[in-house]
Chains A and B, each alone.
Chain A
């Protein structure tokens, strides 16, 4: 156990756990209790975990691919028999009746669950300030946001309170907090990972993915959680490769697109500078850098904030105080609906439900909802054109910043919902087009001294190339010791 008592800089990876088990340096129970103790001691200052779990009895065989690896799970993903709050008072006492498919798959891969992590209420937000249970703090500087909505997961991984974590990403909710806390965050292609057992926000956008310390770990987790699922009819039957197999192959000649629209107003100087120098590194290791254009980029956020609230307003209609969750004591059925929902939901779900309800209501449907779906088609088409191999200059991946700034102070922007929506500007287009995207830390900002996230976007169902590029870049950044 010597190894786990030492605080390894950057924390332990999946590979560390696998190697330690193989060399019999520690047992599954010993690693688990190491992390349990660490959480007991350090969670109070970070508020990364909302609840913790006991050691599960399914690891048994150390030959399983992720045997004994301690993992944190965003609290909108169901684990049978444990409370799942979605960061909301309306589900404060809700106990999951089954495992999400991703959880079922991780259990059969031998993973151990440490607990459930904090999030913005129903995954709506970019700071975790919308959580009914208070914000998670950034381990790099606890006065700053962890990012959101998977902020608890990102903080847990960054502080080594878990080896890896699961998050969900609707418009950046994995990549944004990964960038804020300086970890790797992967949003797989829409349809790659089953959403069964993920509490739905916007069903045509949501996707589960890993937050990890290394790109290799992200590939190892994706290997286990992806694949077709009969319980989610939007999952793809596409072949699933071993995402680790070609990671270390070089990326000489890889065509990398840099959208010029990413470097306009709103991007802070320190992030722009770091992203530019990271692009030079890609060039140094043999990539061909090309400036590209995504002509409809500036409309992505507006389309997103019609479509996601619309889908959310329908998905959150189920919280009616009748089936489960918080229920008011009202006399009549209508009052019970009205009061359960107004007492149970916080301000952000209310805001989004009302925006969605308005966009879908009689007389506004075509002007808002249909219009936004058409904008979505145009934005997806921009990516298709950029990736089109037959077009002149078709690229293999697209890169840029994950976020406009580094982590800001808790409370700094919380009074202006629209200002917070603008934080998602670089991540949202990827979800509109259903593409895979990864954020990796690429260095420290000159002004803030905080880590900057570098976003890489792949072709649909080509996580293999995306992760290979991210791995090669990571090896050349030398951030980890």
Chain B
């Protein structure tokens, strides 16, 4: 059985915010799914190579030329960037990654490290 702390940790890694009710519900559901998956431990997989895909294709390369999608469809930039909830000119606008205090901390650390 997963603990509440473990569920919170997974949810945080997955960038999903859970309500307390959801946390309880997912704790039970995820635990029973993981219990079922433990069935795999019955299998002897010594000397078995993991299989990541079934095609056998390795390194499918294209010619080293740029795709001309944006030339053949002049509205493509607007169609793609225009979907973003926040844009500025032809760019996607993102919230600041570091807060001011974090930047100051980083600076002072860099300074003290010389």
- Asked whether, in the complex, the Cβ of A433 is within 8 Å of the Cβ of B54, the reply is yes
Please, which residue of chain B has its CB at the minimum distance from the CB of A236? B55
B40-66 contact mask (Cβ, 8 Å, vs A): 1 or 0: 111101001111111101001010000
- Label chain A's interface by main secondary structure: helix
- Asked whether, in the complex, the Cβ of B54 is within 8 Å of the Cβ of A302, the reply is no
Interface set, chain A 333-378, CB cutoff 8 A to B = 333-334, 336-339, 341-342, 345, 350-351, 353-355, 357-358, 361, 368, 370-378
Please, which residue of chain B has its CB at the minimum distance from the CB of A228? B60
Q: Is B99 an interface residue (CB 8 A)?
A: yes
Interface set, chain B 69-106, CB cutoff 8 A to A = 69, 73, 76, 79-80, 83-86, 92, 94-97, 99
- Asked whether, in the complex, the Cβ of A94 is within 8 Å of the Cβ of B83, the reply is yes
Q: Is A230 an interface residue (CB 8 A)?
A: yes
A303 to B41 Cα, complex, angstroms:
11
CB distance from B34 to the nearest CB of A (A): 7
- Asked whether, in the complex, the Cβ of B36 is within 8 Å of the Cβ of A378, the reply is no
- Asked whether, in the complex, the Cβ of A306 is within 8 Å of the Cβ of B50, the reply is no
B1-24 contact mask (Cβ, 8 Å, vs A): 1 or 0: 000000100110111111000100
A98 to B49 Cα, complex, angstroms:
38
A368 to B51 Cα, complex, angstroms:
14
Q: Is A321 an interface residue (CB 8 A)?
A: yes
Out of B29, B51, B57, B73, which one reaches A373, CB within 8 Å?
A: B51
Q: Provide a sorted-by-A list of 28 A–B residue pairs whose CB atoms are within 8 angstroms.
A: A94-B83, A97-B76, A97-B83, A190-B53, A190-B54, A204-B52, A234-B53, A234-B60, A302-B36, A313-B14, A322-B92, A323-B83, A324-B85, A327-B85, A327-B86, A338-B16, A339-B17, A341-B16, A350-B22, A357-B13, A361-B13, A370-B50, A373-B50, A374-B45, A374-B51, A375-B45, A378-B48, A434-B54
- Asked whether, in the complex, the Cβ of A302 is within 8 Å of the Cβ of B50, the reply is no
Q: Is A289 an interface residue (CB 8 A)?
A: no
A302-B37, A303-B40, A305-B33 provided; 7 other pairs, C-beta below 8 A? A204-B53, A296-B43, A299-B40, A324-B84, A350-B16, A351-B29, A354-B26
B84 cross-chain contacts in A, Cβ below 8 A:
322-324
CB distance from A455 to the nearest CB of B (A): 18
CB distance from B66 to the nearest CB of A (A): 13
- Asked whether, in the complex, the Cβ of B39 is within 8 Å of the Cβ of A377, the reply is no
- Number of A residues near B (Cβ < 8 Å) is 64
Q: Is A320 an interface residue (CB 8 A)?
A: yes
- Asked whether, in the complex, the Cβ of A354 is within 8 Å of the Cβ of B15, the reply is no
A353 to B15 Cα, complex, angstroms:
10
A301 cross-chain contacts in B, Cβ below 8 A:
36
- Number of B residues near A (Cβ < 8 Å) is 51
A336 cross-chain contacts in B, Cβ below 8 A:
95
Out of B43, B52, B76, which one reaches A375, CB within 8 Å?
A: B43
Q: Is B32 an interface residue (CB 8 A)?
A: yes
Q: Is A240 an interface residue (CB 8 A)?
A: no
- Asked whether, in the complex, the Cβ of A299 is within 8 Å of the Cβ of B10, the reply is no
Q: Is A63 an interface residue (CB 8 A)?
A: no
- Asked whether, in the complex, the Cβ of B60 is within 8 Å of the Cβ of A233, the reply is yes
Q: Is A417 an interface residue (CB 8 A)?
A: yes
- Asked whether, in the complex, the Cβ of B34 is within 8 Å of the Cβ of A377, the reply is no
Interface set, chain A 230-248, CB cutoff 8 A to B = 230, 233-234, 236
A190 to B56 Cα, complex, angstroms:
11
Q: Is A116 an interface residue (CB 8 A)?
A: no
- Asked whether, in the complex, the Cβ of A361 is within 8 Å of the Cβ of B40, the reply is no
Q: Is A172 an interface residue (CB 8 A)?
A: no
- Asked whether, in the complex, the Cβ of A378 is within 8 Å of the Cβ of B13, the reply is no
